[in-house]
Amino acid sequence: MFHLNSLTRLLLNETKTYSIKKQYFKKSAILNTFWEPDDKGGYRDDRKFPPFKERMREGLKELKKEIALWSQEVKEHLEADPVLMYRPGEVDVAWQFGNKEALEEWVVTADADNNEGFSNCSLDLKSQGTGLFSGKISLRTPKDGRVKRAGYCNIRTIRPRKSFKRETYLNWTPYNMLIMRVRGDARSYLLNINTRGYFDITWFDIYHYVLFTRGGPYWQVARIPFSKFFLASKGRVQDLQAPIPLDKVTTFGITAADRYGGEFALEIDYIGLEFDPNHKEEFAYEMYKTPKYIVAV
C-alpha cells in the first residue's frame, strides 16, 4: 500500500519525465526524408498575380482559343493511326528554333537569378533560324560561401498542356533515340529529361546524360539512346536505377555547368526523336540484387 508521500513523489517524477520528453521532442529536428515542402526545391516564388476580376477577363479572352484547341484534340484523337505515327530511321523533330515563337517554349535560368552565384545566360534566335544558348559561367564564390548551387546555366522546356491548361505528358514510347544537331564549343553539356509524377517523391526525378561537343565551325549530329540516361534526384545519382518511363516525360533541358568558368556557346538546330530498329539495348547499367531496405531510392 502506497503512502501519500510516495504517491506524490511518483506523480512528480512521471510529470517531470513527461516534461523532459516533451521538451526533447519539441527541439528535435523534423526529418524530411521523403516529404517535399514545395515543387521548386526550396527556391523562392516571386510571382505576383493580378486581381481576381482581371484574371477573369483574361480567362474569358482565352476561352475561344481553348475551345478551338479542344476541338483539334478531339479531331486528332479520332484520326490518329499509331501505325503511321513514326517510321524507323526517320527523325521526328520535337523542338526547332525557326522563329521567335519557338523561344517561348523554353525557360532560361542561372544561379544569379536566385542570388546563388554570378553566372548569366540567354537563349537567342540567330539569323540562320537556329537557337543559341550562350552565356558566362562564373566560379566566383558567393558571399555566404555556399557553392553547392553556384556555377550553372540552364534552359528547359515548359511542361506540355492540353486545352483548358490541363497538364499532360510527352509520349516518347515509339522512340529509342534522342537526336540533336548542334554546333558546340568543345564543352560538355548535361542533358536532362524530367519525368515528374503526381506524388511529391517523384517531383525531382530527372534522367541525365552528357552531350560532348566539338569545337570549330562544323555541325555535329548527336544520337543518344534513351537506354544511356541514368536516374538522379536533386543532383544525386540514385542507387536504384530504372529505364526512362518514356510515356511520362514532362520537360527536356540542357545545363552548362563544369569546373571551367568562362564563356560558353551551344548553337542548336533541332532536337528530335528517332526509332532505330538495330538498337536492342533496354538499359545500359548493370543492376545488382540487394536485400530489402538496403538500396536508397
CATH of the domain at 122: 2.60.120.430
Distances (CA, A) of 170 to 45, 162, 195, 198: 26, 11, 9, 15
In a domain, 292, yes or no: no
* Cβ neighbours for 272, distance < 8 A, ≥ 6 positions apart: 91, 92, 93, 94, 178, 179, 180
In a domain, 75, yes or no: yes
pLDDT score for 69: 84
Spatial contact of 235 and 139, defined as CB atoms under 8 Å apart? no
In a domain, 58, yes or no: yes
Would you give per-residue pLDDT tens digits along the chain (297 residues)?
444 454 445 444 544 444 434 444 344 444 555 667 777 776 766 777 788 888 888 888 888 888 888 888 888 777 765 555 667 878 999 999 988 889 999 999 998 888 888 999 999 999 888 999 999 999 888 777 676 778 899 999 999 888 888 888 999 999 999 999 999 999 999 999 999 888 878 888 999 999 999 988 899 999 999 999 999 988 888 888 889 999 999 999 999 987 788 999 999 999 999 999 999 998 998 776 667 766 555
In a domain, 27, yes or no: no
Q: How many folded domains does the chain comprise?
A: 1
* Cβ neighbours for 205, distance < 8 A, ≥ 6 positions apart: 194, 195, 196, 197, 231, 233
- CB-facing half-sphere around the CA of 105: CA atoms within 13 A: 19
In a domain, 64, yes or no: yes
The whole domain housing 165 covers 53-274
Separation between Cα atoms, residue 18 and residue 220, nearest integer Å: 69
Give the angle 40-41-44 at the CA atoms, nearest 5°: 60
- CB-facing half-sphere around the CA of 203: CA atoms within 13 A: 12
Dihedral sign, Cα of residue 190, residue 101, residue 93, residue 170: positive
Residue 220 CA to its chain's centroid (Å) = 25
In a domain, 145, yes or no: yes
Separation between Cα atoms, residue 71 and residue 76, nearest integer Å: 9
Rounded to two decimals, the pTM is: 0.78
pLDDT score for 167: 86
Residue from 166, 232, 237, 148 nearest 194 by CA: 232
In a domain, 76, yes or no: yes
Spatial contact of 256 and 153, defined as CB atoms under 8 Å apart? yes
In a domain, 19, yes or no: no
User: Residue 200: phi, psi to the nearest 5?
Assistant: -65, -25
pLDDT score for 189: 96
